[in-house]
Amino acid sequence: MFKKKFFLHLLAALVLTVAIAWIVLSMLASYTRHGEVFIVPDFSGKDYELVINQYGEQFSFIVSDSLFKQGATQGSVLQQEPPPGSKVKRGRNIYLITVSRQPEKVRMPNLVNLSLREALVTLESAGLEVNEIRLTEHFARNAIVAQTYHGKELEPETMIYRGVAVDLLIGDGGSVINNPFPMIYGKKPNEVKHLLHSNALNIGKETYLDVADSTASRAYKIEPYFKPGEAVRPGTYVNIFYKSAERINFNEFLRDSLYLESADSTTIYEEEI
C-alpha cells in the first residue's frame, strides 16, 4: 500500500508539474507573440510622419535626433535603427534620425591672420564653405585679412547656419604674384573646388554636359583655358564643364589630348564621345 500511494503521489506531482509548465509556456508565448516577427522596411528618404502613420501598429517609433543635410527633403528619414531588413517583434522600438526643418547653426571661426590653406581647413571643420576669394593690398601674402558675408564683416563666434559660404579677403604681400594653375582635369567637382580655392582661384559657372550626377562627373573643359602650371592671377574666376567618367576614358583624354592643346585651340572641346 505504501509503495502504491507513493507512486500515485509521484505521478500526480509529475502531471501537475507538466500542466503548470505547459500553462506558463503558453502564456509566455502569447505575451511575447512567439514566432510573430516583422521585416523592418527601408524608411530612408520617406517623410517620418507618414512612416509613423503607416507602420505605427507594427512598431514603436522614437525620433531620437534631427540633423540638417544640404539638398535632402526636410522631415525625411536620414538614418534608422534597426537597419532595413532586420527581423523584429511587434512593438519593437525603431529609432529614427530625420532631416531637420532648418540648418544647424555653428560658430564662425576666426580666420584673420591664418594662411589661406589653414583657413580652408578651419572652414571645412566648422561645416562652412567659401564663396569668393579676393585680393587686397596687405603685407602678408595669402593671409586672411577679413572674413565677410554679403559684404559685411563676419565677427568670430557669430552663430550662422551650417553650409553658409563666406567671402575671404587675402593679402597680396605688397605685389601681385600669379599662382600656378592646378591640375583639375579629370577631377571630381569637390576636388576641383578644393584645388582652385587652395590656389586662391574662384569657381564660376559649373556646367554638367551629359550628366547631373556629380559622383560620376569629371572636369573636362574650363573657360578661360589654362594649362596646368600656367601662371594665373589670384581671384580669377574659372568656369568648369564636366563630363561623365562612364562615357569618356579620362586616362586616354589626359594622355592624348590635354597637353597637345594650345591656349587658343578648341580641338579638345569639340571631341566626340
Pairing type for strands 129-136 and 165-171 reads parallel
Q: Count CB neighbours of 125 within 10 A.
A: 10
CA-based end-to-end distance of the chain: 104
From residue 154, how far is each of 40, 130, 145, 169 by CA, in Å?
A: 46, 13, 12, 12
Span 217-261, pLDDT tens digits: 999 999 999 999 999 999 999 999 999 888 888 888 887 765 544
Is residue 187 classed as helix, strand or coil in its secondary structure? Answer: coil
| Cis-peptide into 103, omega within 30 deg | no
From residue 181, how far is each of 44, 67, 115, 209 by CA, in Å?
A: 41, 37, 19, 23
Compute the average pLDDT of residues 149-178.
Answer: 93
Helix (H) and strand (E) counts in the chain: 5, 16
CA angle 72, 238, 185 (to 5 degrees): 80
> Do the Cβ atoms of 123 and 102 come closer than 8 Å?
no
Residue 267 — very low, low, confident or very high, per pLDDT cuts 50/70/90?
Answer: very low
Span 104-136, pLDDT tens digits: 789 999 999 999 999 999 999 999 999 999 999
**In whole angstroms, what is the distance from residue 236 CA to residue 19 CA?**
87
What pLDDT is stored for residue 33 in this prediction? 52
**In whole angstroms, what is the distance from residue 245 CA to residue 186 CA?**
8
pTM, two decimals, is 0.63
Span 14-67, pLDDT tens digits: 777 877 777 766 665 555 555 578 899 999 989 999 999 999 989 999 997 777
Compute the average pLDDT of residues 173-178.
Answer: 92
Domains in the chain and their CATH numbers? 37-99 (3.30.10.20), 103-115+130-175 (3.30.10), 178-273 (3.30.10.20)
- Look at the block and give the residue holding cell 587686397: 136
Least-confidence region, from 5-9, 58-62, 64-68, 269-273: 269-273
| Cis-peptide into 82, omega within 30 deg | yes
**Burial classification of residue 2, based on how many CB atoms lie within 10 Å of its CB (0-12 exposed, 13-18 middle, 19 or more buried):** exposed
214 CB contacts (<8 Å, ≥6 apart)? 188, 189, 190, 208, 242
Span 153-163, pLDDT tens digits: 999 999 998 88
